[in-house]
Structure 1
Amino acid sequence: MSGNFTHDFNGAEAQQDAFEPIPAGTLAKVRLTIRPGGVGPEGWVTQSRTSEAQYLNTEAVIVEGPHARRRVYTRIGLRGKGAQGGDDTYANRGRALIRGILESARGIAAKDSSDRARAARTIRGYGDLNGMEFVARIGLEKDRDDPRGPGRNVIAAAIGPEHADYARLMGAAPAQPMPPGPAAPATGGAAPPWAAAQPSQPPAAAGNAPFWAR
């Protein structure tokens, strides 16, 4: 091996930045990756080793901004421990987060109940979430094993197009834009920032549009 070979660590994060949690409430565009747990028809689900709980074991990489390349690990609940058809709070929170991720990634408002919006909130399998980009609000969760420690970051919520900072963080348009529908009647008021920032999209060809937009 050549004696001139070197390893350059100038691009590595400073230690303080690498280990200090991201402040709670920070908004950032992230890319979601699911770590397959081998459970379920597609193998995306992870089974708890200590209970009946099931979840998606996810890693969200911050795409850009001051915290770019930082990773946030979150378990998205699918079934709570001991839940047998009752009120499963763990699963309900997980379903709410998945809905928020779909709305953020596909650029639809939470109050939109149109057929297109309802279709955009559907997936063919959990694998559809893998690689999805959306705007996340970063939270801070205390470590049960170290309650005095700084805690760890999690995805607290997904931010949709109603938020004033959505268009700036997400970019010009969602990664999977919905084809435009009929023009809404003019209200005479100024468009909200997220609506004004997004350029109109040409109608998608039926063969190229994602299944939920056809």
Structure 2
Amino acid sequence: MTDMDFNTADTQDSAFALIPANTLAKVCLTIRPGGAGPEGWLTQSRSSSALYLNSEAVIADGPNARRRIYTRIGFRGRNAGTGAEDTYANRGRALLRGILESAHGVRSDDTSEQARAKRSIRSFGDMSGLTFIAKIGIERDKNDPNDQGRNVIVAAIGPQHPEYAALMGTAPAAYAAAPATAPATLPNTSPNGNAPFWAQ
């Protein structure tokens, strides 16, 4: 049998190299159920009472195509219920809003009924399959000075960003085809005006 020569094969350097911070990329999101919270979509922290969404985003195209980015999206911080501000949950809610706006082509300053409806979901499962523009960052373990870090999604980029249209390709069809008038009661909003379960 003739020897197989792998000297000309690509190296694995790219598999371990971090994507530079502040890189923008089109990604497709998947929420990986952790068995906690409403419908089991949340994941319970192993070290505290914190809850988060365990997300995986696959880069759709460009030089980093098919790379996967794993990000924990906060739902409840370890100090929730103590009277202190839950910054962990607030950051998570802000990121979820940004993802919905990016996926549906909604500007952050759009307060129309149509835009409000696009920011509502019935279940965390509705987040899976969304395609949006992500700003990628690098997260490092503060307790480990030798930690090389890992890529995470630090923000979702909406249509107000100058690079959004080029990265997304076209305006999301879901938003362009939305009806001119929103239903009297927005999805996930109870008749008495309370926020949906995931926003409480």
- When the two structures are superposed, what TM-score results if normalisation uses the length of structure 1? 0.76
Q: Distance in 1 between matches of 2:11 and 2:164?
A: 29
User: 5+ residue gaps in structure 1?
Assistant: 183-205
Q: 1:150 to 1:175 in 2, by over 3 A?
A: farther
- Which deviations, in whole Å up to 9, do the C-alpha atoms of 1:185-206 show, x marking residues without a partner? xxxxxxxxxxxxxxxxxxxxx9
Over the residues paired in the alignment, what is the CA RMSD in angstroms? 2.6
Q: Distance in 2 between matches of 1:51 and 1:102?
A: 28
Q: Distance in 1 between matches of 2:45 and 2:113?
A: 36
Residues 1:156 and 2:154 are matched in the alignment: yes
Q: 1:128 to 1:44 in 2, by over 3 A?
A: same
The percentage of counterpart residues that share the same residue type is 61
Q: 1:135 aligns with which of 121, 133, 136?
A: 133
User: Counterpart of 1:42 in structure 2: which amino acid?
Assistant: E
- Structure 1 outlier segments of 4+, above 6 Å: none
User: What secondary structure sits across from 2:39 in the alignment?
Assistant: coil
**Match of 1:45?**
42
Instruction: State the 1:160 CA deviation.
Output: 0.1
**Match of 1:25?**
22
User: Counterpart of 1:116 in structure 2: which amino acid?
Assistant: Q
- Which deviations, in whole Å up to 9, do the C-alpha atoms of 1:41-98 show, x marking residues without a partner? 3111001121110000011110100000111110000000021054100000000000
User: 5+ residue gaps in structure 2?
Assistant: 189-200
User: What secondary structure sits across from 2:174 in the alignment?
Assistant: coil
Residues 1:88 and 2:86 are matched in the alignment: yes
Q: 1:113 aligns with which of 111, 136, 150?
A: 111
Contact kept, 8 Å, 1:36 with 1:57, in 2: the verdict is: yes
Q: Distance in 2 between matches of 1:111 and 1:151?
A: 34
User: Counterpart of 1:151 in structure 2: which amino acid?
Assistant: G
- When the two structures are superposed, what TM-score results if normalisation uses the length of structure 2? 0.81
User: Counterpart of 1:23 in structure 2: which amino acid?
Assistant: P
**Match of 1:77?**
74
Contact kept, 8 Å, 1:143 with 1:152, in 2: the verdict is: no
User: Counterpart of 1:141 in structure 2: which amino acid?
Assistant: E
Figure out how many residues of one structure are paired with residues of the other and give that number. Answer: 179
1:95-106 matched pairs, under 5 angstroms: 95-106=93-104
Contact kept, 8 Å, 1:54 with 1:80, in 2: the verdict is: yes
Instruction: State the 1:143 CA deviation.
Output: 2.6
Q: 2:145 aligns with which of 144, 147, 157?
A: 147
Contact kept, 8 Å, 1:58 with 1:75, in 2: the verdict is: yes
User: What secondary structure sits across from 1:176 in the alignment?
Assistant: helix
Q: 1:175 to 1:20 in 2, by over 3 A?
A: farther
Contact kept, 8 Å, 1:105 with 1:175, in 2: the verdict is: no
